[in-house]
Amino acid sequence: MAENMAENTAPRRLDRRRERTRNALVYAAQRLLAERRTEVAIQEITDLADVGVGSFYNHFDSKEALFRTAAEEALEWWGTLMDRLTADLDDPAVAFAQSLRLTGRLHRRHPRLSRVLLSVGPELARSERGLAPRAHRDIRAAATAGRFRVDDPDLALAMTAGAVLALGALVHAQPDRDDASSADQVALGLLRQFGVPEAEALRICSLELPDLARLDPIDGPYG
């Protein structure tokens, strides 16, 4: 029995070690993306992750593959958090606005993660992970329900992504800017553009938001 336990424990320990190594590489890449330092040698990445160069190739074929994974996982972390924070909303227009308002606040709450998202740039609107597919879903659902007057959901998504990126850049460039008020103004403007009446758009953007301090624990490098 003891031998069987030892045989079962060793693979699990190896799997955990491999996962820690992979996570360390991804977190190092996310830090470099946030600092806009992607023209680095693999040796510098592994030094930052505190792993051996040989370990790099156990997980990734190239530096480009690592940076792509790092960006995708950051996007998905943010998108998953938005899912949690809008799960109880039945109105897609409210869900859309709430995600946008929360995202504006998260630029300052998680500055490193925000900078990773900003490093993605226009690709944010085309990503199959993270905010884009969720915003696209809400836009289409709101249009179907008659909440939005949107003929081209793809164009509406591009407008939304542009607003998210521009707001994030502004929040970082102006540390004294009220990120919450700015995010609400951006959400209000998009709701108006998507055909929501003024009074209803103002109501939606004044709804109470979930307590981010309680619901978004720091995870990995996202402080």
Q: In CATH, what is the architecture of 67-213? A: Orthogonal Bundle (1.10)
The residue ranges of every structural domain in the chain are 1-60, 67-213
Range 137-148 average pLDDT: 97
Chain segment 90-104, per-residue pLDDT in tens: 999 999 999 999 999
Would you call 218 exposed, middle or buried from its count of C-beta atoms within 10 A (0-12, 13-18, 19+)?
exposed
Range 10-19 average pLDDT: 76
Greater confidence (13 vs 57) lies with: 57
Task: State which CATH number among 3.40.50, 1.20.120, 1.10.10, 3.30.460 fits the domain covering 1-60.
Answer: 1.10.10
Range 169-181 average pLDDT: 96
What are the residue ranges of helices labelled H in the chain? 2-34, 42-49, 53-56, 63-86, 92-109, 111-120, 131-144, 153-173, 179-193, 198-204, 212-215
Report the distance separating Cα 131 and Cα 29, nearest Å. Answer: 20
Q: State the average pLDDT for the chain.
A: 88
pLDDT of residue 4: 57
pLDDT of residue 204: 98
Confidence of residue 87 (pLDDT cuts 50, 70, 90): confident
